[in-house]
Amino acid sequence: MTMSADSGKIEEKEKGEEEDIWRMPMILGIEVIHVHYIHPVPYFIKSKQIEIVEGIEFLVKTSEDFPVRALSPALFVGDFPVLDVNRIGENLYRFFVPAPEIDRLKTSAPISIGWAGLSAGKVTTEYRFQVQREESRQ
């Protein structure tokens, strides 16, 4: 009698060689909201914790998700980089500028999308900076 042996292939771990981490989604829409916090919320500027009562929120609709990588996507308002970003839904991202830096956003400045810390790979969008609505939050 010979011992039976199971057989089969291993499921190779997805290597991701094909993924291009420089792939930049198209920007399909940007909504700009001036958010006022009724209760101050904690925030960090550099590594110093502060409390903020307002900020500018950019809700950015994209054609696809950004690739997951070390560098994060950045929104550029003129030359000012908006680095704080969270994915809040499918192809939907929230970029945020806290109160101390709001003044650096110039009305009508062109908005482009790129990578945090890099001037490379920046793509200009058809959008310009303009607050579209005010909103108060708890």
Partner 1 sequence: MVEVPLDELNLQDSEFISAPTVASTLYQCATAVTVVGFIPHADIDVQIDGADVITGAPGGFPMPDGVTLHLPSALTVGQVVLARQKFGGLTSNWSPPVTVRDHAADYPTGPPRPQIDPAPVYKCGSRTGVNNLLRGCEVWITADGVVVGRIKGAIQHQGVNVGPDYGLNQKVRAWAQMCMDPSPPSQQYITQNPPIPLPAPAVEDVYDGGEQITISGLVNGARFQVSRNGIDLGTGRTWGKMHTIDLSPPFAAGETLSVIQSMCPSDGPSPAGTGTVQPCSALPAPGVAPIQEGDIKITLTSFVSDARIKVFVNAIKAGDSGGPIVMLDRAIHRGDTIHVIQIVGTCTGQYAQELKVRCVDPPATYDPSALDLYPVGNVEYDGGTVTILGSTYHVKGTVYYPAEDDGDSQPFNERVRNHGPIPIVFMAHGNHKTSDPSHLGYDYFQIALARMGIIAVSVFSNEANGQAGGPPNIITRAQLIISSIAHFQNLNSGGDRLFGDRIDFSRVGLMGHSRGGEAVVVVPEIISLAGVTIKCAISLAPTNFGASWGRPTGYAFLTILPAMDGDVVDNNGAVFYDQAMPDPLKCQIYANHTNHNYFNRQWTNDDTRGELPIMARQDHERVLSAYGCAFYRNQLLGHNTSGFLLYKELPAGVLTANVHLSFAISEAAMTLDNFEDGNWIGTNSVGQPNTQLGGLTADEYPFSQGPFGRFNDSFFGNTIGMVTRSYETSGTFRWQLADPISLTDREVWIRCADVYDGIRAPATATGFQLGIESTTGNITWVDSDEVGGLPIPFDRRLHDLKRFAIDKTKTMLKTLRFSAHCLQMGHEEELIQAILVRMNASYPRPLAFDDLQII
> For partner 1, which is the closer residue by CB, 17 or 103?
17
Q: Which parts of 81-120 interact with partner 1 (CB under 8 A)?
A: 83-87, 93, 116-120
Q: Is 34 one of the binding residues for partner 1 (CB under 8 A)? A: no
Which one of the spans 2-10, 37-45, 53-61, 104-112 is the region binding partner 1 (CB under 8 A)?
37-45
Report d(CA 117, CA 25) in Å as an integer.
18
Closer Cβ to partner 1, 44 or 136, answer by number: 44
Structure tokens at 122: 């920046």
Residue keyed to tokens 């199971």? 6
Which of 33, 23, 124 lies closest to 75 in space, CA to CA? 124
Tokens read off for 41: 């919320």
Q: Which residues make beta-bridge pairs with 18? A: none
Told to check if 60 binds partner 1 by CB under 8 A, we report no
Q: Which stretch binds partner 1 (CB under 8 A): 28-36, 43-51, 99-107, 128-136?
A: 43-51
User: Residues near 83 by Cβ (< 8 Å), separated by ≥ 6?
Assistant: 72, 74, 116
Contacts to partner 1 by CB under 8 A = 13, 15-17, 19-22, 41-44, 46-47, 49, 65-66, 68-74, 83-87, 93, 116-121
